[in-house]
Amino acid sequence: MPLQTILTIEDDAAIRRGVADALAYAGYTVLEAGHGDEGCQMAVRRELDLLLLDMVLPGKSGLDILREVRNVRPTLPVIILSARGEENDRVSGLRLGADDYVVKPFSVNELLARVDAVLRRSPSRPTDVQDLSLAAGRVDFARCEICFDDGERVELSEREQQLLRYLVRHAGRTVPRQELLENVWQIDARGVSTRTVDMHVARLREKLRDDSENPAVLVTVRGRGYMLASGGRTNYGN
């Protein structure tokens, strides 16, 4: 089972480093941000299982970030990190949909216990797309291949199946190129100018027979990114 990923947004470098080290030691994949604007972008774009969110941050505040997260990802578990004097912010955060809060200073054991409790009672996120039905066949993600009804089989590269899998898992919304670079290629895409996403999508379209004779599978949203066309049937496994 893939490691669960936790993003911690905390401007105090010592606290952030301590939290990140404790989570990593406990077996989680950890992402970090020390500024509200950077953290907000990561919270709405990166693949996460939990968000640890400080209330007082440079740039966007914790409450601002929580509002944006709840608009885009209403079911993402969120734990507020707050100082004792920030009771009003804690209450506001809980009303906005935070799942729990931890008051600073806190022990590592308390934090890990609360993280574990929130993750256990949160609905599990589908982690494995098994296949995608097409008009003239299906994509078998386990075998990294497209099986057409006429008997042709087309092999997908590992990157191509990862890219398509990500778009399938986020069906119903436009996925920006930067988000794809961060979550599929696992690189920091800030300031990066590259056509690699577009080239991979173009190759995928050829393999999917995504042309004028067949219903589109991948849709380009001009100036924004790509999305999976509606109509494909997806099977998930956990």
Cα–Cα dist 31/51, whole Å? 9
Percent of the chain with pLDDT over 70: 89
Strand 100-104 and strand 78-83: the pairing is parallel
What pLDDT sits at residue 126?
Answer: 52
Q: Residue 1's pLDDT band (boundaries 50, 70, 90)?
A: very low
Q: What is the pLDDT, as a whole number, of residue 216?
A: 81
Residue closest to 56 by CA, chosen among 25, 85, 24: 85
Peptide bond into 77 cis (omega under 30): no
Packing angle, helices 158-169 and 196-207, rounded to 10: 90
Beta bridge partners of residue 80, listed in sequence order = 53, 101
Model confidence at 237: pLDDT above 60: no
- The token pair at 28 is 């989680």
> How many other C-beta atoms can be found within 10 angstroms of the C-beta atom of residue 47?
18
What confidence tier does 90 reach under pLDDT thresholds 50, 70, 90? Answer: confident
Would you tell me how many other CB atoms lie within 10 Å of the CB of residue 154? 15
What mean pLDDT is predicted for residues 210-224?
A: 82
Let me know if the fold of 5-121 is the same as that of 128-237: no
Over residues 119-148, mean pLDDT = 83
Q: How many Cα atoms are found within 13 Å in the side-chain-facing hemisphere of 92?
A: 13
Place of tokens 């599929």: 184
**Strand-strand pairing, 153-155 and 218-221:** unpaired
User: DSSP 3-state assignment of 86?
Assistant: coil
Q: Is the domain covering 128-237 a CATH 1.10.10.10 domain? A: yes
pLDDT in tens, 104-126: 989 999 999 999 999 988 765 55
**What 3-state class would DSSP assign to 185?**
coil
The DSSP element (H or E) to which 6 belongs, if any, is: strand 5-9
Q: What is the CATH architecture of 5-121?
A: 3-Layer(aba) Sandwich (3.40)
Q: Look at residue 236 in the predicted model and tell me its pLDDT.
A: 56
Model confidence pTM above 0.75: no
Domains of the chain: which residue ranges?
Answer: 5-121, 128-237
Rounded Cα distance, 222 and 15, in Å = 41
Query: What integer pLDDT is reported at residue 47 of this predicted model?
Result: 85
Residue 213 has pLDDT above 80, yes or no: no
End-to-end CA distance of the chain: 8
In the predicted structure, residue 202 carries a pLDDT above the cut 50: yes
Most confident of 66-70, 72-76, 92-96, 191-195: 66-70
Does pLDDT of 21 surpass 80?
yes
Residue 125's pLDDT is 56
pLDDT-derived band of residue 212, with 50, 70 and 90 as boundaries?
low
Give the model's pLDDT for residue 233.
Answer: 60
